Chain A
Amino acid sequence: MVLDRPEVTEGAEGAAPKGRGPRRTGVRLGLMAVPLAFFGLFFAYPVAAIVTRGLKTDGRWRFGRIGEVLTDPATGHVLWFTTWQAAASTALTLLLALPGAYVMARFDFPGKGLLRAVVTVPFVLPTVVAGSAFLALLGRRGLLDELWGVRLDTSVWAILLAHVFFNYAVVVRTVGGLWAQLDPRQEEAARMLGAGRFAAWRRITLPALAPAVAAAALMVFLFTFTSFGAVQILGGPRYATLEVEIYRQTAEMLDLPTAAVLTLVQFAAVAALLLVHAWTVRRRESTLRLVDARRTARRPRGAAQWGLLAAVLASVAVLILLPLAVLVLRSFDGPDGYGLAFYRALASAGDDGVLGVAPLETIGNSLAYGLAATAIAVVVGGLAAAALTRREGRLVRGFDALLMLPLGTSAVTVGFGFLIALDEPPLDLRTSWILVPLAQALVGVPFVVRTMLPVLRAVDPRLREAAAVLGASPLRVWREVDLPMVGRALAVAAGFAFAVSLGEFGATVFIARPDNPTLPVAVARLLGRPGELNYGQAMALSTILMLVCAAALLVLERVRTDRTGEF
């Protein structure tokens, strides 16, 4: 019997790489030129420069320093703390967020879109703001302190909870997004074949979900491993991650060699993590057959499911809404009772000269920098995604991983590296405003690529062929077939790039000119000063930033109906 199987698939797979190989590779290299130049100049070069500065004195390499720093018990202590707090944060996040992922994926209830936006707010919120939110909840004069005299701000619990707060959305989006697209009929088929409810879940859904869970866990581990702002604010003198230690060594101890070695250690750890991540992502992409997410969700049924929904809502309320609410509350809790005193104070520079400018002006700075950074990230990331659309080739895979590196590299190193490396002609950018958006775009590009790539890869190549046969040139094919399909993903990607640029702190704190700080930098400086007014202003500024981020996210939720991206 002749099998009715389309022949063209195999043709399409095998055809292209053989077909116009050299020309295709040429086009791809052309597309990659801009991203490669960008990462070379503004990532590899500054990082290399600062490592060189640290390890080279009087023109001689001092590799002995590496051994010295590595064997220093203090380094071991930092490395141990960094690793175990990341592992603990990851485990805690998974424990709390996986039920949330299930509820979002399989249940249909009023306010689901709002809930999804709410849990995502912390992810794009500047770490500094989140740190201040937890300080307002757990710290000195915090809510718990006033109610029960409990203070957690110098304990590791504050750090762990803050990390859950940040990364809840990573798990819900990565795992829940996939879970919603798994065909429930697969589980039903298993049930029909005699598997119990749990057995069906364990044998069918769990294996399908496992790579996504692993990928989410790795992302959370990566983010918490390199955590800076939250640990800086909540950790006190006792707790420091590698990133915080790099900052201390660079900015406070002025011990560049140690900072350089720590940077290399973090770099190696992150590179290893990314390799594992790339591997799990590839496995996930290749194997699953997905259905429309809108068809898989339904109303909860029975006490158990309603109970689960209630528990998830309660945990979101405590973990995410409460810190945000306390932050807002504090911003209104002025010296003369509740009012707008702190907000009014934002309009003037103040007399102690903490910022040198009116705090309100930093909002304008942040928005301007954020827009510029978004433009850069969209161009660079968009070109990279276009180049990476076709999956084959070792080159592509390497580039894929390379794009994620900035997410895990010490932002402090990058920031300080900018100052050291980009200070000579022809690249003397020290006094240029573009320095800040460039550094922020480094963090935005991975988000743009990660959002656009799955959509671009989902475009049926034969659609492009159909357009070509109808007389469309390659450029026109891209404009008329690809662009309309990724337009929405592009908007989402731009939104995320904007939000992370807005919140970037580690690099910006180094390179923002003192008279032109961004909002997160201003918050950190205000928090670093004593006095109720400074504290209150920090809370008020954070509230404003939070509202801007939340508004951006709600708009994105409207735009984003397909959930194929990772974030």
Chain B
Amino acid sequence: MPPALKPSTLKPPAPMLRLEGVTVRFGDRTVLDAVDLDVAEHEVVCVLGPSGSGKSTLLRVVAGLQRADAGRVFLSGEDVGGVPVHRRGVGLMFQDHQLFPQRDVGANVAFGLRTRGTGRDAARRRVAELLELVGLPGAERRAVAALSGGEQQRVALARALAPSPRLLMLDEPLGQLDRSLRERLVTELRQLFGRLGTTVLAVTHDQGEAFALADRVVVMRDGRIAQQGTPLDVWRRPASEFVARFLGFDNVVPATVTGDRADTPWGEVPVPAGSAAGPCSLLVRPGGVRLVADGLPSEVTARTFRGDHVLVSLRPERGPALQASCALAHAPEVGARVGVAFDAEHVVVLGG
């Protein structure tokens, strides 16, 4: 049910989740370093980062499983620092699901309902409804051990959703599934969250998953937020060399910008108008590396099929290796000698 519209003169509602300066240290290692983060109601936020960047710890702090050494956590505007795990009313789907092995599917899903004192009949109806929702109708009596990985994932999701948590957190939700199942489930989850209006905070190290799932992506590095924005923003304008490389872009070189050109190890590269002058890192997306007759002489060292295009690895005469994205029909053979030119449209001047 959508909330009643309030007059616009009132203060905007507190975000569903707010982290203020949250810091966590394990020994002398700082896992979360003064992290500030807001998640609005109905928003799906995905935290993206390599292993060890502090993503899972972030979720554990919000759930109350990990105490923050500094900073505060607010849920719906209330400081939950002193609230124990079981009273926070948030849901957490664990990386490897953690279904209760000695209970059947129905009892797993009903667990959170029972702890909240839901009546037997109401719980049974809710379980049936949720199993229907995740595509496992009538699976109540099945043993957990007999489920496939994808089915376990669905049961874990149903279990986390059952008590209608105000915030649903997912830790590497699809990490252990095979590729095709993963892609299908990402789409399903996205539709499901949209339909239910669930507020979601997910963490993953897979950018494809994050971009497909999220309204907003938060990239983390060494316990700090490196960049946040819509998937399209982050994809098109990575804020730093770290983010660019983490997203899989390898064409990054040190450069010096003067006017609308930059001086790089590959020679002069055009940059978008209005780029700040001075030394920087420069990213050329593979789509912006064009194969031409003249230009920077290079040799083709490898070709990798990517479905609708071919990623061509090049060894230029000068400067580091380059990757170019080519249409299937025009990809040169390995060993061919080609010329390279750059498109300003696909060049991004990175900070730091």
Contacts and interface: CB of A to CB of B under 8 A. Distances in A.
Interface string B96-133: 10101110000000011001100000000000000000
Interface residues of B, number: 44
A5 B51 contact: yes
Nearest to A471: B115
Interface string A442-461: 00000000000000000010
A469 B95 contact: no
Interface in A459-493: 460, 462-463, 465-474, 476, 480-481, 484-485
A73 interface: no
Interface stretch (A9-17, A225-233, A267-275, A372-380): A9-17
B115 A484 contact: no
A311 B58 CA distance: 60
B57 A7 contact: yes
B175 A481 contact: no
A11 B27 CA distance: 12
A7 B51 contact: yes
Nearest to A20: B67
A229 B85 CA distance: 54
A520 B160 CA distance: 57
A10 B50 contact: no
B52 A7 contact: yes
A473 B63 CA distance: 14
B164 to A, nearest CB: 12
B172 interface: yes
Contact of B95 (A2, A6, A15, A470): A6
Interface in A1-57: 2-8, 10-11, 14-15, 18-20
A27 to B, nearest CB: 13
B102 A2 contact: no
A3 B160 CA distance: 27
B249 interface: no
Contact of A469 (B63, B66, B116): B63
Nearest to B90: A469
Per DSSP, chain A at the interface is helix
Per DSSP, chain B at the interface is loop
A469 B83 CA distance: 12
Nearest to A465: B65
A471 B66 contact: no
A476 B115 contact: yes
A15 B100 contact: no
B238 interface: no
Nearest to B25: A18
A10 B205 CA distance: 16
Interface string A153-182: 000000000000000000000000000000
B98 A11 contact: no
Nearest to A472: B115
A469 B66 CA distance: 12
A60 B138 CA distance: 80
B56 interface: yes
A483 to B, nearest CB: 10
Interface in B3-31: 26-27, 31
Contacts of A5: 51
B246 interface: yes
Contacts of B60: 8, 11, 15
Q: How large is the interface on A (under 10, 10 to 19, 20 to 34, 35 or more residues)?
A: 20 to 34
Contact of A18 (B26, B56, B87, B89): B26
A473 B86 contact: yes
A2 B51 contact: yes
Nearest to A9: B56
A472 B86 contact: yes
B175 A4 contact: yes
A15 B66 contact: yes
B192 to A, nearest CB: 19
A463 B111 contact: no
B67 A484 contact: no
Given A15-B60, A481-B100, A466 B86 contact: no
Nearest to B115: A471
B159 interface: yes
B276 to A, nearest CB: 30
Interface string B272-290: 0000000000000000000
Contacts of B31: 11
A335 B101 CA distance: 60
Nearest to A18: B67
B55 interface: yes
Interface in A128-144: none
Given A20-B67, A470-B111, A473-B86, A7 B98 contact: no
14 contacts: A3-B50, A4-B205, A7-B53, A8-B94, A15-B66, A19-B67, A465-B98, A466-B94, A468-B85, A470-B91, A470-B163, A471-B89, A474-B86, A476-B86
Interface of A: 2-8, 10-11, 14-15, 18-20, 460, 462-463, 465-474, 476, 480-481, 484-485
Given A2-B205, A15-B57, A19-B67, 10 more contacts: A7-B51, A8-B56, A462-B94, A468-B65, A470-B112, A471-B87, A471-B112, A471-B115, A473-B84, A476-B86
Shortest beta-carbon contacts, A-B, top 5: A471-B115, A470-B112, A14-B26, A468-B85, A466-B98
